[in-house]
Structure formats: structure tokens, C-alpha cells
Amino acid sequence: MKYTQLGRTGLKVSRLVLGTMNFGPQTDETDSHAIMDAALDAGVNFFDTANVYGWGENKGRTEEIIGSWFAKGGGRRDKVVLATKVYGNMAADGDAWPNHDKLSAVNIRRAVDASLKRLGTDRIDLYQFHHIDRATPFEEIWQAVDVLVQQGKILYAGSSNFPGYKIAQANETAARRGGGSIGLVSEQCLYNLAERRAEMEVIPAAQEYGLGVVPWSPLHGGLLGGVVKKQAEGGRRASGRAADALADPATRARIQAYEELVEKHGVEPGEAALAWLLTRPGVTGPIVGPRTAEQLDSALRAVELEPSEELLAGLDEVFPGPGPSPEAFAW
């Protein structure tokens, strides 16, 4: 496994991030534990989750599964850089109550304690804001975070799904507050070959402020995982976002061109998409959310893959990026 610093911090993290969103809803506890063991054995030390994972009446279940895995001992907790998120409403379904969601100081405090209990740990290494909260000023957010850092309950703060201007606003506010707050150290955003808009504002802002970029959905909901070929061979059909995208003839033609390109270079589609992200400026590592051990093995191979300049140029032709801002939309 290869490692890098998380943004401007001294924290070393693997260049592949284990996403746990499937743990509970699609992967049972036993198989989830096996996947986490395999990831750790392969050197993956960066695990990502969120308090709402498990979803619906089972929200929080994913954190509980991770907690039961930590409880097995063997140094599991100390080997893992643990990231979770706050924002979604954690009140029981049908019992939504004011202040049980978003980023007020009240909810941040409540959510941290609840996550720590489910995870069975005394600290969260990276506590991420799952979405912007337009109603809560960053002065209040940082006040709550600073207290939690002082208490040792969290070590670093990160963002997720933030626009570039909010990254700037968050860190400028942290700098004005003083007191040693280092502000956001990472941004988790939607970024992949098929969705490159983050290159316009989000990633430049992250680089300017020293945030590590952690892309989610690196295969764009399975669209970049060889879906056209699998359909032709009678394998698993596309579903969800991938199926909707393939219904558009132009998108289907582009995905087919992508699959033909990577096949020409002897590379599996999903591995090519991950390897491309690992070449992108500012990227710490993509989040992979395996449902099975086999999917994890494929992701691990991508870390060792070094795409040729010819392949990278071909990928840019199939999936051209928007270009830098402001030239992408002005002059």
C-alpha cells in the first residue's frame, strides 16, 4: 500500500479509503468484518463512514458494525484513521425533532457522543461536515469543534460536498478565530472521470487551503466499472444512476468508448478509473465501498497501477474536464 499526508497535516493515510456505506444495508456484519480485516491486512488504514449510514430505521447501524469490529481487539482501532460525518437527522423515523440535524453546536455535541458510543471508541480522527449548513455561522461551528478537540473527542475536522467558496469561508473564519484552530483539513467530494466539475472550484480551493481531496463515487455509481461489457455478456445489469445514464445514447456511446480504450491497454475499467484519480493533483485517495472481498481486491490492484501517458491522454479525450476557472466559463 502507498501512503500520503492528509492535506497539510502530519497524518499519514493510505491512498485508498475504505468506504463503509454498504455495511449493514447490503453487506452483513460477518462479511463486513471480513472486508475490514482484508483491508487492514493490505495496509488500508483510512476508513470512512457517517452517522446516518444504515439509513432509515437502521441509521447508525454501520457505525455499530465498525464498533463491533474494533471490539475484537488486535490493535484494530489504533491502526485505523477513523472518519465519520455529521449533518443528517438521527432522530427516530417519524419523530424528527428540532436540533437533531445539521451543524448547530447543540447537534454537533450530541452527534459526536452518539457516534463515539456506536463506534465503541474514545475519539474520531477526522470529523466531517456531511453538507453545508446555510443557517449556522462558521463561528459557532468552530467553537463547537474547538471544544471537542480540547476534550480529545475529535482530532481533525473535514468537509464533504462543500462548494469552493464555503471551503474558503470556513478556513478564513478559523484563521480569524485564532487559538490554534487549523480549520478544515480535507474535502470529500463527488469526483470521477464522468463527473469532473470539482476541478473548476472545489479542488483548487482545497489545494489553496491545504485540504486533502477524498473523492466519493469514483466509479460514478458503477458506470465506470465495465457495465456495458457486463450487460453484453449477460452479467449484472446496471441499476440506479448508472442505468439512468446509460438510457441516454450519447452517454452509452461514451462509456463504450471508455471500455474499449482501457481494454486496448489491458486494464480493467474500474481499476483504470481509480488509477486515474490517483494521478490527479490534490487527491489524497478515492473512497471505495466494496460489497464483497472480490471488489476490494480489484480496488487494491488499482493502487499499484501506473497508467501510461497514452492511456491518460485517451481518458481525457473520452471524458474532457471542464478546464480551470474562470476560463471554463469566461475568458
The four Cα atoms 144, 149, 155, 161 give a dihedral, to 10 degrees, of 10
CA-CA distances (angstroms) from residue 282 to 183, 191, 199, 203?
A: 17, 12, 10, 7
* Grid coordinates belonging to 176: 480569524
Residue 266 backbone zone (phi > 0: left; psi -120 to 50: alpha; other: beta): left
Active site (catalytic) residues: 53
- Distance, in Å, from the CA atom of 286 to the CA atom of 305, rounded to the nearest integer, reads 14
Residue 250 backbone zone (phi > 0: left; psi -120 to 50: alpha; other: beta): alpha
Give the residue carrying C-alpha cell 425533532: 97
- Distance, in Å, from the CA atom of 217 to the CA atom of 208, rounded to the nearest integer, reads 24
**H/E segment holding residue 86:** strand 81-86
- Residue 234: which residues within 8 A CB-CB, separation 6 or more? none
* Grid coordinates belonging to 206: 482545497
**Pairing mode, strands 46-48 and 81-86:** parallel
* Grid coordinates belonging to 118: 456506536
- Distance, in Å, from the CA atom of 195 to the CA atom of 234, rounded to the nearest integer, reads 27
